[in-house]
Amino acid sequence: MAAYGLYSHIASNKRRSVALLIGLFFLIYLMVFAGALIGEGFIMDHLPFEQIVGRAWRDLIVAFPFATIGTAIWIAIAYRFHQAMIDALTGGREVTREEQPRLYNLLENLCISRGIPMPKLKVMDSDALNAFATGLNEQQYSITVTTGLIKALDNDEIEAVLGHELTHIRNGDVRMMVIAVIIAGVVAFFAELFFRMFFRSGGSYRSSSSSSSDKKGGGAAAIILAIALVALAWLLSIVVRLALSRSREFLADAGAVELTKNPDAMISALRKIEGRGELPGATSAVMEMCIDNPREGFADVFATHPSVDRRAEALVKFAGGRDPGPLVPPAIEEEEPGALPEPQTPAPASDAGQKPAGPWNVPLPTGAAAGSMSDPWGGRQN
């Protein structure tokens, strides 16, 4: 029943995510309508407000296919180049088993234990403790880990972090987030463009509207409505991105525990990462994809991730883990790439028995068992 409940939550999250993405497309058309209001408000400011709105609505119908095609082209470009742009921002580089044997083996063993393709493994040179997954399809999926996280966490904790990011890929969260960032980027781009153009031409509009004030047209009201719609679209695009990001983190934590059978390692990893994940130079879109985002908005309303306290509490309640409270990673001296430090033990073994062995002890899927996995990246495994 526990597994059924987890996969039911995953399916429900996917349905909500699709609905939210449809909502983002609606925001693009809302922006087009606001632009039509602006144009009609400036040109036909002598007409009554109702007529200006009607003309703007007809403009939206005419522009609808062009807006759809333009958005599709934007998504296609981002689909092809988004990974290169993220790597350029973060400095992530792909590594091999020879360069990072410890990290590579941990990820490979997790993938072997579930019979799923192994994503690309990348390392980012940063003292921050963080990791994130990106990609839109099996050929693009990758997991990026900072060098600071590799040094500060032991094998079990790193395995939990990799399991967390691998779960994002398996659940389709990464694809959803990338598409959401792309579409929200369209809304933010045109919102900024609109406000820049409006404030630069505001003086000329005020002078023209004052000279024709005797006409008592509805241009001013139409423009005020357009400003409100643009601001609303921009705000809702942020809210949708936050909703997608927050809802997926609890499920990814649970998925990591399902992969590793070690809730204590997931909790201790989160406690060590807590507040130490700021990636210098990374955009807010990249930070939203990370396992922890220390950037918070006003009164935590615009925080993209649940707090570590809430995530640890959920793992204690539903996975039987133990929360050691806030942790400070031990100071680790510089070591050669790929070196295997002595594993640390964040918590004593439970009374019920010792900690479960890592996934490298799980037999490889062969024969019919391996062949039964028709869609290794999605849904429940056989």
Enzyme catalytic residues: 165
Beta strand spans in 36-154 (E): 93-94, 120-124, 131-134, 142-146
DSSP assignment letter at 350: B
- HEC string of 40-69 equals HHHHCCCCCHHHHHHHHHHHHHHHHHHHHH
In terms of Cα–Cα distance, which of 202, 205, 194, 256 is closest to 228? 194
Q: Rounded CA gap, 225 and 231, in Å?
A: 10
Neighbours of 241 (CB within 10 A): 23
The pair of structure tokens assigned to 97 is: 């088993």
For residue 290, the cross-strand partners are 132
Contact 172, 163 (CB under 8 A): no
Contact 174, 286 (CB under 8 A): no
Find the largest Cα–Cα distance for the chain. 86
